[in-house]
Amino acid sequence: MSSDADGSHNPRSLNNMVNLVRTYPVVVGSRYVDGGASNDSVARQFLSRLFCKVARTGLKLKIQDPMSGFVAVERRVFDTIILKSSGYKFALELIVKSNGRFKIFEYPVVFEKRKMGASKTGVREGIGTMLFVLMLCLRNISHRT
């Protein structure tokens, strides 16, 4: 089961997100902009905000919810960027590797509590996420020189 097939993303948001792709090649469904929210537990919200803060700071990102896996992306973006990640972190990699070439819009969404499937959140996933952010930081450093 895909991490985005757990019922936490309202499919009604997708039509608006896809329509916005005409103007913004990358549209991120964001919990952390005005109008967005998360109905997750306080602990999950804390971890999510922490990971977002680490990614924003370490990768110098301007978007509020870089860890969101709920995105609509124009095909040409995928045609110009080689992704190595899988799962919800592909959006973070896409944003970092696009290096400002594409306009990004954060569309406010409400993340619901998981309706099906088991959470992968845990120490292993947290360490993996931090290692992934570190790998992207190192990639950015090596591409600056």
pLDDT in tens, 59-101: 999 999 999 989 999 999 989 998 887 666 888 999 998 888 9
Is 137 within the bounds of a domain?
yes
Helix axes 42-59, 123-144, angle to 10 degrees: 10
In-domain check, residue 6: no
Which helix (H) or strand (E) segment holds residue 108: the answer is: strand 104-108
Cα angle: 42, vertex 2, 101; to 5 degrees: 85
pTM: 0.83
**The predicted structure's pLDDT at residue 88:** 67
Average pLDDT over residues 128-145: 82
Instruction: Tell me how many domains the chain contains.
Output: 1
Confidence of residue 2 (pLDDT cuts 50, 70, 90): very low
Whether residue 5 is contained in a domain is answered as no
Residue 4: inside a domain: no
Q: What is the pLDDT of residues 109-126, one digit of tens each?
A: 998 876 555 566 677 888
Residue 37 lies in a domain: yes
Asked if the structure places residue 46 within a domain, the reply is yes
The dihedrals phi and psi of 23, each to the nearest 5 degrees, come to -100, -40
| CA atoms within a 13 Å half-sphere pointing along the CA-CB vector of 115 | 9
Alpha-helix residue ranges (DSSP H) falling in 25-101: 42-59, 75-80, 90-98
- Domain span at 64: 12-144
User: 7 in a domain, yes or no?
Assistant: no
Is 9 in contact with 70 (CB distance < 8 Å)?
A: yes
CATH code of the domain in which 111 resides: 3.90.550.10
